[in-house]
Chain A
Amino acid sequence: MAVNMAVSRIKREFKEVMRSEEIVQCSIKIELINDSWTELRGEIAGPPDTPYEGGKFVLEIKVPETYPFNPPKVRFITKIWHPNISSVTGAICLDILKDNWAAAMTLRTVLLSLQALLAAAEPDDPQDAVVAYQYKDKYQLFVMTARHWTNVYAGGPHKYPDCDAKIQRLKDMGIDEHDARAVLSKENWDLEKATESLFS
């Protein structure tokens, strides 16, 4: 019965998302990955007036058999620079996806909550400590880094030639582009420190 409930609920939620206002505004999107309705792909637009504006972020959604009594497992597939999202794995730290889940929540509310999370980070309850530290300590650098990531991975509009040049320097040393970007971001775009941490 539980399986049936999970599937029948996901089907309904799918329709709910498809009919929602947000889909008209292109701010959230959802699509099926397999026929069993247990795996879906979500997409949220970066909220306006945030470093994520203009980007599209893809999410992996796995629905457990015990849904809706347990939350869906959600993570970011698109790489993102955010204190509550792992820049490495895309894992999300959001209470409603863990112990604060409620059975009345839906895929739509989850996606909207994630959008809200992008707009209001919680650096005191971080998933990625490095990002959280930068957020608290060097906010301007954080905004730049997040915009740069949004531009590169999510199609955002802000280009940072300075960052690209630094990444190119590391690439020339035989470093993978993403690894180079991750290290530079972590080291606050200090090329020397980045090189040091790469080759030490």
Chain B
Amino acid sequence: MSTATLNGAASTNLLQQQPSTSTEASSSVAAAAATAAVKTRGAEFGDDVAPTSTSHLPTSPAICRYFQKGICRFGSVCRFSHDLPGGEVISSNTNNSSGSTAPASTLNNERPSTSRRNWANAPAFIPAADHAGGEVLESVVDPNHSWAEVVFGPNARGRSMPHMASGFHEIASVDEECPFESPCPYGMFCVYAIHMELCEMCDQFCLHPNDEEQRKKHKKECLQQHEQAMELSFAVARSKDKTCGICFDTIMEKAGREKRFGILPNCNHIFCLECIRKWRQAKQFEHKITRSCPECRVSSDFVCPSAFWVETKEEKDKLLGDYRKALGIKDCKYFKKGDGKCPFGNKCFYKHALPNGDLVDVGCPKKGRKIHRSNNEIINLLDIYLYEFLEQRNLNFLDFFESTGDEGEDSSDDED
């Protein structure tokens, strides 16, 4: 997996150790190889657009603005100068800094550029197929250019190549973290002092050898991520073959927004959100019928949308709690921040707050009309209206829940 890049790096190194006065014949081949090596490195840095032609390389004397901010992703192949005004030359793969400072903070989206995902996308190493070879050849013929310049541009003169322990150039900084993908091919001969150690949980080299705090932090985050991924995979597993009791479809196999569960608080029967909502809104039956579960006829006041099936009481309580919380963030459209009056009073799931943010207890819902059914059953219409109102409005909660679900999915991808 890592051999292509390692070979590329090794060949670069090999070439640089050759005296720059080698014959033309061997140099053209080597130059092509070097170009390819540059490209491989570019891809390794996570560049979607790797520099396609080396003819762009030795150009502008202007100082790279990104480099000044320390975030130039082109590193040493950048066409702008990486010489700071003070004459100080900073070597290092600037774009690798994200990996060195906070490798553990890459919980979800942020990933170190040296991830394996990028390795897989690296272009194949085919020296003969390099269309830029001719241009390189021209610059190579110029005897005033060293190999390092061909590979890294003219600014590389005086740049350090820390891995070249031969002392060819002066060594820049040995206290830094080794920028190469671990395990570093130079092993104990590498001049960089700091080599990140392997974290067995995430299988990446991201544990600082000395910084206990970093190690602890990373391990904690790794564990958290692992737990999240486990939770998610359990959720997927238990939801996978659940079928809706109304449409009989497998809910997880439904398309897009239909792939949602409608959880009834008072029983454990499985429905997709769309079906159970439709059933509860059916006008041809009495409310007593539609408010109850189509399978067991246990009545539930509302339906909670969920991306996954909840099996245990704990999972369900958490979901219902999250649901109320999510609705409680949003302002009630009847209360209107104090301007209006919410007929549902403190039974409403939405937020009753004044413009200054103060929460208001609006008291019990005002007693509504009560209607007598033929069987003397008294139904408080307000209750019915409240939950219908909630069910019409709570679609957004699902977006909230789905987005957290998606994040979880991302993190599980990272685990692989």
**A contact residues vs B (CB 8 Å cutoff):** 5, 8-9, 12-13, 68-70, 99-105
Within 8 A of A (CB), among B99-156: none
Q: Chain A residue with minimal CB distance to B278?
A: A69
21 inter-chain pairs at a CB distance below 8 angstroms, sorted by A residue, are A5-B247, A8-B247, A8-B249, A9-B247, A9-B248, A12-B248, A13-B248, A68-B247, A69-B278, A69-B279, A69-B282, A70-B284, A99-B286, A99-B289, A100-B289, A102-B294, A102-B295, A102-B297, A103-B245, A103-B275, A103-B294
What secondary structure prevails in chain A residues at the interface with B? loop
- What's the nearest-Cβ distance from chain A to residue B303, in Å? 13
Cα A2 to Cα B221 in complex, Å, equals 47
Q: Which residues of B contact A100 (CB under 8 A)?
A: 289
A101:B247 contact, CB within 8 angstroms: no
What secondary structure prevails in chain B residues at the interface with A? loop
Cα A93 to Cα B286 in complex, Å, equals 18
B286:A103 contact, CB within 8 angstroms: no
Q: Which residues of B contact A12 (CB under 8 A)?
A: 248
Q: How large is the interface on B (under 10, 10 to 19, 20 to 34, 35 or more residues)?
A: 10 to 19
Given the contacts A9-B247, A70-B284, A104 and B269 also touching, CB distance less than 8 Å: yes
8 new A-B pairs (CB below 8 Å) besides A12-B248, A68-B246, A104-B245?
A8-B249, A68-B247, A69-B279, A102-B294, A103-B246, A103-B279, A104-B246, A104-B295
**B contact residues vs A (CB 8 Å cutoff):** 245-249, 269, 275, 278-279, 282, 284-286, 289, 292-295, 297
- What's the nearest-Cβ distance from chain B to residue A124, in Å? 15
Cα A98 to Cα B242 in complex, Å, equals 29
Q: Chain A residue with minimal CB distance to B297?
A: A102
- What's the nearest-Cβ distance from chain B to residue A113, in Å? 14
Selected contact of A102 from candidates B247, B284, B289, CB within 8 Å: B289
Cα A100 to Cα B249 in complex, Å, equals 24
Cα A69 to Cα B289 in complex, Å, equals 12
Q: Chain B residue with minimal CB distance to A68?
A: B246
Q: Which residues of B contact A101 (CB under 8 A)?
A: 285, 289
Given the contacts A9-B247, A69-B279, A104 and B294 also touching, CB distance less than 8 Å: yes
Cα A105 to Cα B285 in complex, Å, equals 15
Q: Which residues of B contact A103 (CB under 8 A)?
A: 245-246, 275, 279, 294
Q: Which residues of B contact A5 (CB under 8 A)?
A: 247
Cα A163 to Cα B303 in complex, Å, equals 58
Cα A101 to Cα B284 in complex, Å, equals 10
Given the contacts A8-B247, A69-B278, A105 and B289 also touching, CB distance less than 8 Å: no
- What's the nearest-Cβ distance from chain B to residue A130, in Å? 26
Cα A70 to Cα B246 in complex, Å, equals 11
Q: Which residues of B contact A105 (CB under 8 A)?
A: 294
